[in-house]
Amino acid sequence: MAEGLKIEIVSPERLVLSEVVTSVTVPGSEGYFTVMADHAPFMTTLRLGFITVTGLDGKAHVYFVRGGFADVSTEGLTILAEEASPFHEFDTGDLQAEIKAAEEELARAQTPDDKSYAQVLVSGLLNLAIEAGQINGTHIH
């Protein structure tokens, strides 16, 4: 495909990215998936994670997203995220604090529902920390 894929990453506060790119890897709620041009229409919710956008020049850029969904239509890929920011704005210190808060919540949780919710949160955040570390290791921004 010559013309590439149109991608838009939108957060409530602003339009984070609007570009034509080669491919995008998105953290869907049921696993990572990669979208390229002319993908079949598809919609999914997102989980906490990083979007990797490979531009037409072959360079990869990473964006952090939290909560929201991705909509692949004939026009392109639209990502509506409650929180979205370029990776360099992503603060690992904040993440550590959040992990700590989540772990405390897990320790406090009484009902099984609360417990499983907190557990999911903690593991999601820990996962994120690992992924962030990997990206830091392999990418130079």
Partner 1 sequence: MPSLKDLKNRIDSVKSTQKITKAMQMVAAAKLRRAQDAAVAARPYAERMGKVLASLASVYEGQSGAPVLLAGTGKDQVHLLIVATGERGLAGGFNSSIARLARDHAAKLLSQGKTVKILTVGRKGNDILKRQYPNLIIDTISFREIKTIGFAQAALISEKVQALFAAGEFDVATLFFAKFNSVVSQVPTALQIIPARIEKIEGEGAAATSTVPYEYEPSEEAIVEDLLPRNISVQIFRALLENGASFYGAQMSAMDNATRNAGEMIGKLQLSYNRQRQAQITKELIEIISGAEAL
CA dihedral sign of residues 37, 34, 60, 86 = positive
Of 13 and 104, CB closest to partner 1: 13
3-state percent helix, strand, coil for the chain, nearest multiple of 5:
35, 45, 20
Of 10 and 135, CB closest to partner 1: 10
- The stretch near partner 1 (CB under 8 A) out of 6-14, 54-62, 85-93, 105-113 is 6-14
- The stretch near partner 1 (CB under 8 A) out of 19-27, 79-87, 117-125, 132-140 is 79-87
Distances (CA, A) of 39 to 55, 78, 120, 129: 17, 13, 31, 30
Site for partner 1 in 15-74 (CB under 8 A): 15, 28-30, 40-45, 68-69, 71, 73-74
With CA atoms as reference, report the closest residue to 82 among 51, 128, 48, 41. 48
Structural contact between residues 43 and 72, judged by C-beta atoms closer than 8 angstroms: yes
- Kindly determine how many residues on this chain lie close enough to bind partner 1 according to the rule CB under 8 A: 25
Name the residues that contact partner 1, by CB under 8 A. Answer: 8, 10-15, 28-30, 40-45, 68-69, 71, 73-74, 78, 80, 82-83
